Structure 1
């Protein structure tokens, strides 16, 4: 099939509103079907290690239509934290190919032995290559759509035909999924106090409540109270995620 077959899916993505994540995900799956690569994963935020650990439970990282046995092992071993395909999305701005051939693994980042084991694990399920679409949104937000193929797919030809469609699909998907997250955080950011920003900033440096309390001349319970308030205002579910969201909103420096 050609990229013209994806017009209905692109139209569906274009018409999505903030919060239409499931609609957007179905459209992305339809694009994968039209490409002949139906195995698709979508990650909504991989901008830092913190974002992969502390993502919102109500706005989860999507891992679509992968074999159940694969998902169980992948999640148990926390392979997402060191997946070189995700890491490449942080530095690549256009769709790229990853695959294994006679020369070994080909991917736009240098990989170590641990990352090679991750790719070999995927290959043991027949996932020997794919096309990944990095998505760079405002304030450092990074997502990706990965179409996972095998040796039977002519990835160069597919990417040449579908490149523009994939870039557009990525932009519309992130708009549908990430906008509510951004708006919640932006609304909360306007109500953060100076004390809350200070405590989150110190937390980003790895300081404990006791250390923050010494720095600000307050008791540890007060420092913890300010961080919990900041988490609530930013719609975060953990201390780690509070720091990650604050960093993405430009309130503090990078904590990646």
Structure 2
């Protein structure tokens, strides 16, 4: 393990809570020339149609304060080429907003950026967040966390030097994520993209086990009409055409867990 990683782990272990650990992380990143960072987590990264889902948790340091709102509520996550790459990538990658039409071997964005991504590219250029390294981390149950080390106004030669630290940054991303896990707000763990009531989830859980509406009604001591109402509401919220597709979509969004 490099001396830099040893120092990082000492800093992370010496503090508690997500905020202090983010502060410790940015202090260590400065030693490698990075000036800002972003960290996000989503339990389900894409819809069944393949569209990106806004993160349940997004934390930043030394980045424009408007960014979290734009990404979680303003639709920028859905047109973020870095996040699009992170969902598919198996290794950390370097990106630059300065040369999106260059060599994909030098800049990962060159392989994916189209006209629809331009608002995000222009935002990064306007805020001078032009170069970064993204570490995608696929988690249990299909979740995705991404760690982004960013350089604002990089000096010439920065990208060449940063490439030497790709392995260290990958290990740093996982070290930070493992340290941050115990600081998660429980509300960040389930998917927020679709919200079902506890009764709607329960009815779908039984439906997934092959039970009919009448059987579910008997199990819950409710009328079949009430159960049908819950199933119809859940089907509508999930954007499903029928009960079978509703169960499949509920499974996709990790909504069928827990004992019945």
Match of 2:12 in 1: 13
Q: Does 1:83 align with 2:80?
A: yes
RMSD: 4.4
The answer to which structure, 1 or 2, has the higher relative contact order (CA under 8 A, 6+ apart) is 1
The equivalent of 1:100 in structure 2 is: 97
Aligned counterparts of 2:39 and 2:7: Cα–Cα separation in 1 = 19
CA contact (8 A) 2:42 2:55 kept: no
The SS at the match of 1:44 is strand
For residues 204 and 172 of structure 2, what CA distance do their matches in structure 1 show?
Answer: 38
TM-score by length of 2: 0.62
In 2, Cα distance between equivalents of 1:250 and 1:112:
41
Distance 1:53 1:121 in 2: 17
Q: How big is each residue's C-alpha offset from its partner over 1:210-242, in whole Å with a ceiling of 9 and x where there is no partner?
A: xx979x754268627x97xxxxxxxxxxxx999
Contact 2:132 2:148 (8 Å CA) reproduced: yes
**Mind listing any 5+ residue stretches in structure 1 that lack a counterpart?**
187-192, 204-211, 228-239, 252-256
Q: Which moved more, 1:169-178 or 1:78-87?
A: 169-178
Judge conservation of contact 2:45–2:55 (CA < 8 Å) in 1.
no
**2:38·2:58 contact (CA, 8 Å) conserved in 1?**
no
Does the residue aligned with 2:167 lie in a helix, a strand or coil? helix
Structure (1 or 2) with the larger CA radius of gyration = 2
Report the counterpart of residue 207 of structure 1 in structure 2: none
SS, match of residue 60 in structure 2: coil
**Which residue of structure 1 aligns with residue 113 of structure 2?**
111
- Contact 2:41–2:145 (CA<8 Å) still a contact in 1? yes
> Paired residue for 2:230, among 223, 229, 233?
223
1:199 and 2:204 matched: yes
Contact 2:59 2:68 in 1 (8 A): no
Q: Residue 133 in 1 paired to residue 135 in 2?
A: yes
Give, in whole Å, the separation in 2 of the partners of 1:103 and 1:123: 12
- Which shifted more, 21-30 or 81-90? 21-30
Count matched residues: 214
User: Which structure has the highest helix share of the two?
Assistant: 1
If the length of structure 1 is used for normalisation, what is the TM-score?
0.63
Instruction: After TM superposition, give the deviation of residue 123 of structure 1 in Å.
Output: 0.9
Give secondary structure in 2 for the equivalent of 1:35: coil
Say if 1:195 and 1:33 are closer, same or farther in 2 by CA, change over 3 A. Answer: same
